[in-house]
A = this chain, B = another copy of it.
Amino acid sequence: MSRRGTLYLLPTLIAEVPAEDVLPAGTLAVARRLDCFIAENAKSARAFLKAIAHPRPLAELRIVEIGHAPDPARCDEWLSPLLEGLDAAIVSEAGCPGIADPGAELVARAHALDLPVVPLVGPSALVLALMASGLNGQSFRFVGYLPQDAGALAARLRELENASRAGETQLFIETPYRNERLFAAALASCTPDTRLTLAVDLTAPDARIATHTIAEWRALPDARRPPLYRRPAVFALLAGPRSAPRRRLR
């Protein structure tokens, strides 16, 4: 069998900062050596490759766009350069491919084709938010986006709060322009002693991370709340007194 290419999973920036701030030299070295990229969005992939000063002219690189919801039927076509021996990287619009982002189907197909898969280190908003939340990181869950309908959203928030009573931190995200609506729904739907974390603009110089109980959030003047509107944010919640880490603090 001829040499098969390696499929790298290449994290990208999650805020406008120098690439060296958040990407290891090891990750940058791989990114700069590759000619072939499988991108969620070709335009943002080009901007990223420019930001990391990829040594080849962008026009000479092979950048395939797979979109937000890649068609599973096209996985083999997208992976064909690897079968011919070329290395390639999946790049998402922001953060880690395959985590709260497309890419998993391609990776699954790569495993089925016995291609080597190598994940590279870079920023994950979920991990940074969880680390900095002070909530339980020994047991946690990421549930993606919550329902948009107001009633369904309130019910889902209460469901997540209940699920967290066993001590499992619940992480979720929202489209940035709906962040404030989600925050307001959490304040209205959850019980006063549940802790809620807002982690906004992670890795940016003006990143804001705050954890308060729902009661504390309700009492906090607007000016002291992290600004949420149209900013990338991660939400996390953990119900109060019955969860171990909180009880042990008191």
A residues with a Cβ closer than 8 A to B are 9, 17-18, 20-26, 72, 75, 96-101, 103-112, 117-119, 121-124, 126-144, 168, 195, 202-203, 207, 209-212, 245-246, 248-249
Contact = CB atoms under 8 A, between A and B. Distances in A.
A105 B207 contact: no
A207 B118 contact: yes
B121 A249 contact: no
5 contacts: A20-B24, A22-B121, A104-B135, A104-B245, A107-B131
B132 A121 contact: no
Among A112, A142, A245: residue with most chain B CB under 10 A: A142
Given A22-B24, A117-B209, A118-B132, A108 B138 contact: no
A98 B24 contact: no
A108 B139 CA distance: 16
A69 B109 CA distance: 41
Contacts of A137: 96, 98-101, 103-104
Q: Which 4 A-B pairs have the closest CB atoms?
A: A108-B134, A21-B26, A107-B134, A99-B137
Contacts of A101: 137
A117 B132 contact: yes
A76 to B, nearest CB: 10
B139 A139 contact: no
A9 B132 CA distance: 7
Among A20, A24, A72, A248: residue with most chain B CB under 10 A: A24
A134 B138 CA distance: 23
Given A99-B127, A117-B209, A139-B144, 20 more contacts: A9-B131, A18-B26, A20-B24, A21-B121, A22-B121, A72-B248, A75-B249, A96-B137, A99-B131, A100-B138, A101-B137, A103-B137, A108-B134, A109-B249, A118-B209, A119-B129, A119-B132, A121-B121, A121-B128, A124-B124
B108 A131 contact: no
A13 to B, nearest CB: 10
